[in-house]
Each structure stands twice: as C-alpha cells, then as structure tokens.
Amino acid sequence: SLNQVYLAVDLGAGSGRVIAGEFDGERIELRELNRFDNTPVELPSGWHWNITDLYRNIVDGLKKAGELYSDRPISVGVDTWGVDYGLLDEQGNLLGLPYQYRDKRTDGMMDLADQIIGKQEIYRATGIQLMFFNTIFQLLSEVERKNPALDIAADLLFLPDLISYWLSGVRSQERSVVSTSQLYNPIIRDWDRDLIERLGMPEKLFKKISDPGEELGPLLENVAQKTGLTKTKVVTIAGHDTASAVAAIPSQEENPAFLSSGTWSLMGLDLPRPNISDESFIDAFTNEIGVGHGVRFLKNICGLWLIQESRRHWLANGEDIPYSRMADLASEAEPFRSLIYPDDPLFEEAGRMPEKVQAYCRHTGQPIPETPGQIIRCIYESLALRYSEVWQRLISYVVKEPTSLHIVGGGCQDNLLNQFAANAIGITVKAGPVEATGLGNIITQMLASGAIGSLKEGRQVVANSAQVKTFEPQDPESWKAAYQKYKAVLASRKSKNS
C-alpha cells in the first residue's frame, strides 16, 4: 500500500516546528520532529527575527527526519507568517537581519503612503486591509531612511522564500506570501508596478511570481549531507501560514467560513475570487491569495497575542501559568465583569500586557481585573465578542450564511474559547485540526507530487485524518446582553479618545 513521507516546516510568530506527514492513501499521520521557541531580539537597529537560530532548528528537524526515514521523504515545504522579508545581494548574501513586523520603523508610514497614493487607492489596487506592518509600509520606511541595502539588493525574499533558498539554493517569490505584501494586484495577478514605482521602491526586486506546488530543486549538498535527505526536493507551497491553514479546512463546502487561530485570529471566508469594493474597504476585509488562486476574504483580529503576551509578562515576574491552567483560572472568574476591544492600538506592541488590559478597563470606567483569572476571562470574552462583531460584517458579503465556523490552528485547542466563540456568534463551531497549517503545507506538496488531484481531495484527506470537535452555542441571552455591553465600552473608549 501507499506510504509516502512529506516534510513541513511551519514557523509561527511564537514557535516553529518541523513535522513529517505519512500518507497512506487515505489519511495523513503527523509526527513532530522538532519544536522550538521563536523569540525576536532587539538590536540597536530595532526588533529582528533570530533567523539563523530558526534555520539551525529547522536543519535539526530535518536531521531527525533523515534518522527516521533515511532518504524516503519526497519533498519539504516551508511556511511562515506573512509580510516579513530579507534582502539579498547578487551573490545571495543576506543584507541585514529581517525585521519583526511589529518593529516601530513603520510609524507614520501609512500616513505617508496615504499622502502619496491614498489609502483607498492602495486598497483598490491590492484588496489588502491596511495594517501598519504590511511589507508596503516596511519597505517605504527603508526608502525613506535611504537604507543602502536597497541600492545593492538583487532580491527580496519573503521569509518562507528565504528559508527555501537556504535549503535549495533557488530564489523565488511565492504568490500567497507575495499577496500579503500589499504590493500585489489580485486582479492582474501580478505585482502592482504602478504602486511600486510611485512609492520609489526598486522595481528590480519584484520578479516573476511562483505558485504553490512548484519544484525548486534538491536540498543543497551541505543540507543533504547533514540530514541524509539525499532525494528530498524543496517545493513551493502556500508559504503564507494562513494560506496553508485555510487549504486544510476539513470541509467539502464551496465557501467554508474559518477562523485560523494562533497569535492572530484570522476570520473569513474561502472565496473563488477577490471581493474589492468601497464597502470591503470600509470594513477592512482583506483578499489574500491561496492555493490555486483561491481568495481568503478575511480580517485580522488580535488573537491569542493578548494571552501569549500576558503569559510572558507573568513569567518574567516569576509566575509561570501554563496555557492549560489559564482556561481553568478563567472559568473560575466572574463572567462579563469587564471587557476590552482586542484590536485597540494600545495592545499592538509587545510588553506589559496585563497592565494595558487594566488601563483599558480603568479608562472606560469598568471594574479593573486584578487576578490572572479575571484578566484572562476578560480577554477571552472580549475576543469572542469581537469575533461576533466581525462575523456580522463578514456574512453580509455572502448570499447564504455559513452553517458552521471552522476554527483551526494551535488556538483551537482552547475549549473555553471555542465555546465562547460559539456562544457569542450563535453558530456551531467545529474545532480542528490543530496542525492545520502543517497539513495544508503537506497536501499542497501532495498536489505537486500528484498523490492527489485537487484541493478538495486534499481537504477530504484532512477530514479523514483530523480530530474535529463540535461546540453548539449556549446561553444566548447572557451573550446578547454582553454584546450590548461590549458595544457600549467601545463607544465610551471612542468618546474619551476624541
């Protein structure tokens, strides 16, 4: 019987992993080969990813694959978060450490781009919601400060492209992650040369775009030697992690609704073509590109970032609260005591998250959450209410309201948050798979190898492979009342800020 092995490298903003997927013709069985923290570093130049440490961990994971499977793995694909990139000179030398997207060098850049081009025009060209960290604003800051790296750069590689280059020696710009740059036009299916030129960016950096499922080449000699993976090919997949996660929604519906839950909560619909209108601009919905030009019509919601950062803060102050314990603490706390708007700019930057939550509550005249349990509960409930708010806008774009919401990714292990999401939205939540991104990465490699014939088939394989848990909405009256309270808090924040 069939027994194929594929390898997936999946880097998230909080942690990375290398996994193997064994495909038996029906199901994929996953095996984690290496898991490691991803901790950015602050240098005098700003916040950067520790990219060489990540790379070393990736090679360690591949070594493990070689030990387990010798030269059997067919291919390896790399996905990471979006928007971030490295610049390379002609010889392939990296010109400076890639920046972490929350680095403050983008301050003021959205306003500048607004003056040069206009926000709505940028949206019309790209279909991407304007977020301060998009590549367009990062690069504009480099243009503005006349970073000499731009003069000698021959290539701009997004992080999945960069890792794939280090593994294969082949440089490419893959479409899904390219689409997160906000310099890509999904209608003409190419870079928006007009935007690039008007913003003074070096045009030579924007090359022919590759698609998910293309072969880049064998592993470079040094990697093949170290790992024993002498026959494994590096292929492009949907290098943007969210694109890979959405490829793996375990559904046979045409336009399933999803919430990809990790550092971010990405809520949206899988659509066949972009939906770019004045309305979607005002609602700030994005149109990112997936496998086979599929469109993720979604909005970024500040997701478990608030929880991750709170945990990090408590840990630094000597209190280690594991994620598993957090849900218990939250369940014991009083419901709907205080609420926040999770996407308030106050929470964008790293650091002192519990204090920021308290400050928000103080500012809006609510009881101040004191204990970790109260703070976590406040974050969970507020997130769920924000989900509901975004959902109501989202479904206004489709004729037929989806009958369920698929929550996938690491965050779907959180049963309490899944239940709150079902309650707040009033819809059936289907939670799983946890490793959607890795599975989406692998089924795209299976498309490339010919093991499956379509994305739909791939989703069936995922459905065969994954554990999916269902959550039905409960307690509609309290959640309706809570939603009113949430809206009142938002209004009070607004009036106090203006």
Cβ at position 479, least distance to ligand LFR in Å: 27
The Cα-based distances of 196 to 207, 359, 470 in angstroms read 12, 40, 45
Question: Would you call the peptide bond into 433 cis, given omega within 30 degrees of 0 as the criterion?
Answer: yes
Return the number of other C-beta atoms located less than 10 Å from residue 42's C-beta: 11
CB-CB contact of 281 with 296 (8 Å): no
Of 40-48, 81-89, 102-110, 167-175, which part binds ligand LFR (CB under 6 A)?
81-89
Burial of residue 13, with CB atoms counted within 10 A of its CB: 0-12 exposed, 13-18 middle, 19 or more buried: buried
Q: What is the rounded radius of gyration, in angstroms, for the C-alpha atoms of the chain?
A: 22
In sequence order, what are the beta bridge partners of 31? 20
The only residue of 262, 274, 369, 372 in contact with ligand LFR, by rule CB under 6 A: 262
Q: Does 241 bind ligand LFR (CB under 6 A)?
A: yes
Alpha-carbon distance 239 to 73, whole Å? 19
Question: If binding is defined by CB under 6 A, does position 310 make contact with ligand LFR?
Answer: no
Beta carbon nearer to ligand LFR, 99 or 360: 99
Q: Is 241 a catalytic residue?
A: yes
Q: Which is nearer to ligand LFR, 129 or 419 (CB)?
A: 129
Please state, as a whole number, how many other Cβ atoms lie within 10 Å of the Cβ of residue 179: 30
State in angstroms the smallest separation of the CB of 81 from ligand LFR. 4
Only segment of 259-267, 310-318, 346-354, 465-473 that touches ligand LFR (CB under 6 A):
259-267
Binding pattern for the stretch 347-386 against ligand LFR, x by CB under 6 A and - elsewhere: ----------------------------------------
Residues 427-456, mask of contacts with ligand LFR (x by CB under 6 A): ------------------------------
Q: Does 305 bind ligand LFR (CB under 6 A)?
A: no
What is d(CA 35, CA 37) in angstroms, rounded to the nearest whole number?
7
The answer to whether residue 290 forms part of the interface with ligand LFR (CB under 6 A) is no
- Single-letter amino acid code for the residue at 1: S
Beta carbon nearer to ligand LFR, 154 or 284? 284
Q: In the chain, what is the greatest distance between 2 CA atoms, to the nearest angstrom?
A: 66
Q: Please report which helix (H) or strand (E) contains residue 436, including its range.
A: helix 436-449
Q: Does 264 bind ligand LFR (CB under 6 A)?
A: yes
CA dihedral 222, 225, 231, 236 (to 10 degrees): -30
Phi, psi angles (nearest 5°) of residue 270: -90, 110
Q: Which is nearer to ligand LFR, 183 or 375 (CB)?
A: 183
Size of site (CB under 6 A) for ligand LFR: 14
Identify the active-site residue in 84, 161, 192, 241. Answer: 241
Per CB under 6 A, does 300 bind ligand LFR? yes
Min separation Cβ 476 and ligand LFR, Å? 31
Q: Does position 101 bind ligand LFR by CB under 6 A?
A: yes
Angle ∠(244,248,253) on CA atoms, nearest 5: 130
Closest CA to 262 of 306, 325, 297: 306
Sign of CA dihedral 113, 116, 119, 123: negative
Q: Give min distance, CB of 96 to ligand LFR, in A.
A: 19
Exactly one of 82, 212, 274, 458 binds ligand LFR (CB under 6 A); which one? 82
With contacts defined by CB under 6 A, name the span among 61-69, 80-88, 159-167, 486-494 that binds ligand LFR. 80-88
Q: Which of 269, 311, 265 is nearest to 290 (CA)?
A: 269
CB of 12 to ligand LFR, least distance (A): 6
Q: Is 266 in the site for ligand LFR (CB under 6 A)?
A: yes
Which amino acid is it at 455?
A: L
Binding residues vs ligand LFR (CB under 6 A): 12-13, 81-83, 101, 240-242, 262-264, 266, 300
Residues taking part in catalysis: 241
